[in-house]
DNA sequence: TAGAAATAGGGTGAAAATCCCCGTTTCCAG
DNA sequence: CTGGAAACGGGGATTTTCACCCTATTTCTA
């Protein structure tokens, strides 16, 4: 009997998923958490290590990404299956890089889900064809798109660009000259392969840099 | 024994939810559909009318809103509980206006969920405190925000405004003069209470007019 | 330790977006 | 049949954004 923990802020989904998991009768859900912080708390509190953690990416307070980072630092052997609504390529890559053993989209069918649990238990990982092809796509892609890393200041600017402020007032807010803002804009246009402020906004939303 | 149909494109969630529903043992899930079109097909095919439909809002091909519209026209007595991740006020209002008997956020806890099923069966509706307060908020709000209805052509323009095209090329695409586009822009700025194209994009995303 | 890279800033000019006020047609309701 | 929306188009002006040119620090690193 394998033990499972579920980390997801959608209670209805979490408890439903528990029923599904337990209908497989080789698995038992030992606890839920609604965000990473709570999960970490319960880990140490109960002193119970689940065999597999099913972890949502988008959660309030402490996201799946942040939680994976913590696990990587503190419990690197913990097996985690990421579970998410969206299949943003960047997110998938990031979670796997942080040590997730697989990435499940919520539209996976329950048979595949059971296989994922089994594979992670037995083989240590599970990759759906869709995720595998995302990985492959990412391999042979031109290096420019390979990995876009934004600096803190760039992210700060990007967030402000996703408001109705003018660049001038963004400059004020960041204590920079409008010309410097011009520089950030151009850098981001190039990095993100967009041509306008609208493109910046769309990028930011797609990559969860701003909330919607 | 009440019969339930689940309409949700997230298979994992749908099947999990089925387990949860059936753990209540007064309910039985008679079928799933992954979008509105499939649901309508199954309704007539099986000739089986579920007592309650649990319907997701965001689905490919035919959304929850479109499906509610169809039900309103064709099966106005069908009891529907809307089920959604997001609590965009406009969406809640719209679903209820189209005849949904309640609106459940996916972070509802299972006890409340069971109560929702029971209430809909017995009383015909279920409103959580959160949804109720949204409704109340909406009542006494200034009429300007009361109900924003966009015309087809405006929505068409709005979608194009959420791309990196210039207004000039949007005009071409809509077979209109750039000046007319100017008019649409200004109308929307006023209607949506925004001041820039960025505002349009943010509005469109928040109200699910475009996908992200 | 030279040179890349990151950071901050500047000038100019063109293109796009924004704003305000106006005219035409069409079409529907009172 | 008439008056008023609604859809479409326009003149003209300002502001904002965007593009492409450049320099001067600092910091990191090969």
Q: Report how far residue A69's alpha carbon sits from residue A65's, in angstroms, rounded to the nearest whole number.
A: 6
B157-184 mean pLDDT = 90
How far in angstroms lies nucleotide C3's C1' from the CA of residue A177? 28
Which nucleotide's C1' is closest to B154 (Cα)? D7
Contact B104 A19 (CB under 8 A): no
Residues 151-210/B with CB within 7 Å of nucleic chain D are: 151, 153, 176-180, 182-183, 196
Question: What residue ranges do the domains of chain A occupy?
Answer: 2-139, 148-206
What is the pLDDT tens value at each position of chain A, 212 positions in all?
889 999 998 888 888 888 888 888 889 899 889 888 888 888 888 777 899 999 998 888 888 888 888 888 888 888 899 888 776 777 777 788 888 888 888 788 888 889 888 998 898 888 888 778 777 766 554 444 445 677 888 888 889 899 999 899 888 888 888 888 888 888 888 888 888 999 999 999 888 788 76
Q: Give the confidence band of B147 by pLDDT, cuts at 50, 70, 90.
A: low
Q: Which residues, in sequence order, are CB contacts of A203 under 8 Å at separation 6+?
A: A158, A192, A194, A209
Q: What are phi and psi of A83, to 5 degrees?
A: -140, 115
CB atoms within 10 A of CB B84: 19
Domain topology for B2-139: Rossmann fold (3.40.50)
The CA–C1' separation of B180 and D10, in angstroms, is 9
Assign B143 a pLDDT band (cuts: 50, 70, 90): very low
B73 confidence band (pLDDT: 50, 70, 90): confident
Instruction: From chain A, pick out residues whose CB is under 8 angstroms from the CB of B108.
Output: 11-12
Q: How far is the CA of A197 from the C1' of C15 (A)?
A: 14
Average pLDDT over residues B150-160: 87
C-alpha distances in angstroms, B194 versus A165, B82, B115? 11, 29, 40
SS3 content of chain B, % helix, strand, coil (to 5): 55, 15, 35
| B99-135 confidence digits (pLDDT tens) | 888 888 878 888 888 888 889 889 888 888 877 877 7
Minimum-distance nucleotide, CA of A168 to C1': D16
Query: Could you count the other beta carbons within 10 Å of the beta carbon of residue A3?
Result: 15
**Res A53: pLDDT:** 92
Nearest to A109 among B11, B108, B212 (CB): B11
Question: So what's the pLDDT on residue A138?
Answer: 61
Q: Do domains B2-139 and B148-206 have the same CATH topology?
A: no
Quote the percentage of chain B above a pLDDT of 90.
Answer: 17
**Token code pair at residue B116:** 């929702």
Contact A113 B12 (CB under 8 A): yes
At B145, the pLDDT band (50, 70, 90 cuts) reads very low
A94-115 burial code (b ≥16 CB/10 A, e <16): bbbebbbbbbbbbbbebebbbe
The CATH class for the domain spanning B148-206 reads: mainly alpha
């Amino acid at each position: 009997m394998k033990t499972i923990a579920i980390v997801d802020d959608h209670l209805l989904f979490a408890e439903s998923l528990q029923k599904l998991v337990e209908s497989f009768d080789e698995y038992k859900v030992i606890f839920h958490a609604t965000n990473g912080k709570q999960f970490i708390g319960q880990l140490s509190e109960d002193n119970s290590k689940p065999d597999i953690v099913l972890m949502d990416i988008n959660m309030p307070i402490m996201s799946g990404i942040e939680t994976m980072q913590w696990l990587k630092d503190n419990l690197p052997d913990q097996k985690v299956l990421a579970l998410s609504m969206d299949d943003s390529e960047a997110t998938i890559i990031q979670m796997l890089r942080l040590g997730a053993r697989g990435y499940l989209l919520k539209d996976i069918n329950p048979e595949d889900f059971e296989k994922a649990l089994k594979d992670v238990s037995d083989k240590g990982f599970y990759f759906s064809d869709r995720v595998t092809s995302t990985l492959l796509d990412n391999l042979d892609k031109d290096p420019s798109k390979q990995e876009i890393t934004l600096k803190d200041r760039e992210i700060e600017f990007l967030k402000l660009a996703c408001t109705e402020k003018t660049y001038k007032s963004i400059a004020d807010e960041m204590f920079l000259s409008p010309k410097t803002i011009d520089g950030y804009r151009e850098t981001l246009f190039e990095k993100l392969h967009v041509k306008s402020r609208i493109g910046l906004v769309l990028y930011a939303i797609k990559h969860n840099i701003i909330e919607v």
